[in-house]
Structure 1
């Protein structure tokens, strides 16, 4: 736990997934689940990447006291430009802005302001890393190295912590099995745990080896869960990171990309069915869908499956999570997403365009240019 006097936190390393998760958790602990907009400022790069203008906007915020007194939290979220830090201050470059930021942190920001920054690529030998280490906390999260002894123990610790954060208790044999499944890919930990929670019916149910073996295997299933979760977040950076991870695991890039196009289209088809069903049944929210499925008889479910509503056979918890995700898309956007993915698949089959290019272009249209 950080000292109360520390008001500068920098989380970095080479493991983006772990850095992001730890930063999210830290900010919640400081500012709460629903931060006061008058006491919380978020700075996050857009699709064009990091800019000096955004950083200088954050610098102005760090020099301004909280609007209504008390404490203000400033968060530089999931930043990707730390490696651009330069030697000279000023100018209209990211590197110059980072140097100015290092100088401000070294001089000290107001005790009524808490600064949290996270993202890969910090060089602790440069000014920003040194300043944060001197006056605050620099936390490094690096992906375990398979070539070094003890990487399995490190992964077990990550899995146990992630499970504890969700209120889930895992036996040692299940943790070791998950290490075999995910290797050193920490980005898969959350996905595998969510699969277990859905399969077992919540966090209070014990997870056995049989449960883990039933749902935590198979590349095809992994693609469906991971891609669906990323699309549901409606965060372009997360979606493209998933594409990079999943396509990179396959020998045939084109085949993997085509599979992801199909899986993404299936996600939106299922989402649209759920959206229509909830409207017809006058179910107003995701927990309401969960309650409906828990109370439905086998005969009612069979009748709905015959009408194409196959999601009624999902575990109610999984259906609820999916319903929460699709709230970020309107029915019109879902239909347009299916059309965009159809065209992307056709482009793969009828032109020389690489399947991954078609996939990423489609996802940018669906996720990158719509509502958040």
Structure 2
């Protein structure tokens, strides 16, 4: 699995949380204690600070929850900003009246001890100051709510992106087998038409490949050794089909043990060499395949002669079919930038693929 997909999954794991009742209790408890000690220190009267904070506390909570769970979903999320502003101001004014009366009758006749003078009536300055104070608390809680909503929405989008990437990568991987079997069955068909004795051997080799494809290619990464064995089985199929007409030079160097690669990734390049090389030429065909492991990278090279048929389009060879397009997409999704380098070249005589990939 590529690092980009792993990062997405890690983000999902780290953001897999919900705001519970415990979080609400902790938040308001911290807020209550902070406000009590703040005003208790300011007035040097902690009993008074406790009473006023307790009174204002219920008003803060009511207004904040009314805003984030009713006003915002009903008006902000539906883009009715003017109605929202009017409803919020009306709510602030209602809470102002309630706070003034509760303070006056339950705590002290001086409802604004921190004000410039003794206040026992509902003045404009008191109203503005109290509404701004309430608005501060409402805005602070709303900011927390918006932040968590954004995180939740981001997580949802990331989940969708991860699912899309995994689905696309899985689909590309599953396309390899039908594409491969289609070509191989075509080979068997042509041999049966010719009533060739090679057909049974090809069917036996094909069954071995089918067993590998069905049971050993479901992982994101497969042993490089097993992949090479799979490729050798495929080459054996082609040797049976072409006989002495086909010359395959296969070289393996470097430490291939304990190395892993995306399954069935290299087969498309070798298939392509036969599709646009051996199938299009008459006479002896040489295909060179090199595996060279240097540190944590596999240097893979396959070359085949360009077809000599007049009606054969060399541009078609360079671009490849579904197999090459599939590989390019799998490399893009399954590996990060810097973990692979692919070069497909047509020099006029040979079709050459060079792939450097992390293993």
Flag the structure with larger Rg. Answer: 2
Q: Which has the larger strand fraction?
A: 2
Structures share a fold, TM > 0.5?
A: no
Q: TM-score, normalised by structure 1?
A: 0.21
